Chain A
């Protein structure tokens, strides 16, 4: 576990010293702000509805940032050859994957915290509960971490960051759009498909301030699945 934190620390340093991390965070926050002021605050909504709308609009930049920030995690190391340092050190593939994932989560957490002034406005000027804000952010963060795990897995498949981003989209978009397909099929398949949806069915309760245990489990399971897949991909590479 210590090695995972060590790798996470180096990754954070790389984000800090490169333009990518700050640029993606700035772009996501700018988009959040524009949508919040241009869409949420201009409509006549109850405070709770406005807060739910904020979490809805914030999910887009969050998912985009997670894909953009995760595409380099393993692909760049393979491209530059620095992955050899990790491969030949007494570090397991899981520690490697976990370290990179923790670093990305930290960046996403910073981004999430920096968007806090918008719900804070609603909290101060409107009538929303702190529990709604916390639940909404928990959902937003879970959504971001799940997309980050998909991006990390895609990054472990190739040495090209662009291809990694495309692969991530190939996995992510069907999971995002599966609820649309669910509308056109009969029960019980429609329930199964909508239950798989990355955003619609599983994310909306968080937006509304409702914490449902099985929604949390869904995000954690999908995240664990893709982190495990990334780990196995890196392990398999040694035996190819």
Chain B
């Protein structure tokens, strides 16, 4: 469990962070979302005890990072944006070194290395020299060193930076698999990525949490609506009735036509704005009216709108606009 209270970090007279208050429960996968320079990395570095706060309280499993940094470091695994790898070592040598450095007993080093290799699917690369690995494998090895001592908290700074699409999918699976056993906190400025990987999103703007929640909660609370994209086939049903069926649903505000997501003369796609999550009722109504539902997704542009407004206008302003 992570508790951050009234945290401030100044670099000279520049306030990089604060006031910051965050609580993360055990086993959660939480994403810090923010633009470059918003304070994500500073937050993560403080959590990993790489940097000390100017003021405030940060506790990991009840241990204060200033009063007991060694004990905290033994409980935290950290992957910085640039994985800290020694190029001359082999993968297994490096992980054994990281394990021993983090306090794993000599007899337990081998199983610890196996655990990290297995979770990051690096077993076939155990004898490879680190300097010869591709960027994706280096990133995996960075995560392996962060979990080799089985920490209760795993801190990952931009874990998908520079990965290709296949590697991103693998990395997402890997991070999700860490949740439960470990409390995971990661940062990214990649919006779809963080929303697909994390249980909860904390939007960091100007060193403060400007919004918090799941993607649905954020869009509902900040935009006052949820946007859903639905694609249907219309055999046996009257295509002209589609907008009526959707518009009659309780909670639906607007229905707008958009370019069909799939080819086909009988396939149509609509964007539905609603005050709440209407997806269950929507499917029921469409099927009842004889439409064949091909695809139903949250609009990808929805959280992007939230994020951009938070980042550019500031959370408070947006909240006021929404409330008003």
Contact = CB atoms under 8 A, between A and B. Distances in A.
Interface of A: 3, 6-7, 10, 13-14, 17-18, 80-92, 238-240
Nearest to B93: A13
Contacts of B51: 238
A90 B97 contact: no
Contacts of A87: 49-50
Nearest to B98: A85
A88 B78 contact: yes
A20 to B, nearest CB: 12
B97 A84 contact: no
Contacts, number: 60
Interface in B188-238: none
B101 A92 contact: no
A18 B88 contact: yes
Given A3-B101, A238-B50, A82 B73 contact: no
Contacts of B311: none
A2 to B, nearest CB: 8
A81 B84 CA distance: 6
Interface in B35-82: 48-52, 70-71, 73-74, 76, 78, 80, 82
A88 B73 contact: yes
B100 interface: yes
A interface SS class:
helix
B50 A90 contact: no
Interface string B1-15: 000000000010000
Given A7-B101, A92-B70, A239-B52, 4 more contacts: A81-B82, A84-B50, A90-B103, A238-B52
B89 interface: yes
15 contacts: A3-B101, A6-B97, A6-B100, A6-B101, A10-B86, A10-B89, A82-B85, A83-B84, A84-B80, A85-B101, A87-B49, A87-B50, A88-B48, A91-B73, A238-B49
B88 A14 contact: yes
B3 to A, nearest CB: 19
B49 A82 contact: no
Contact of A90 (B80, B82, B86, B102): B102
Nearest to A89: B101
B72 to A, nearest CB: 8
The 5 lowest CB-CB distance pairs between A and B, nearest first, are A85-B84, A90-B70, A17-B88, A89-B101, A81-B82
Nearest to B82: A81
B145 interface: yes
Contacts of A86: 101
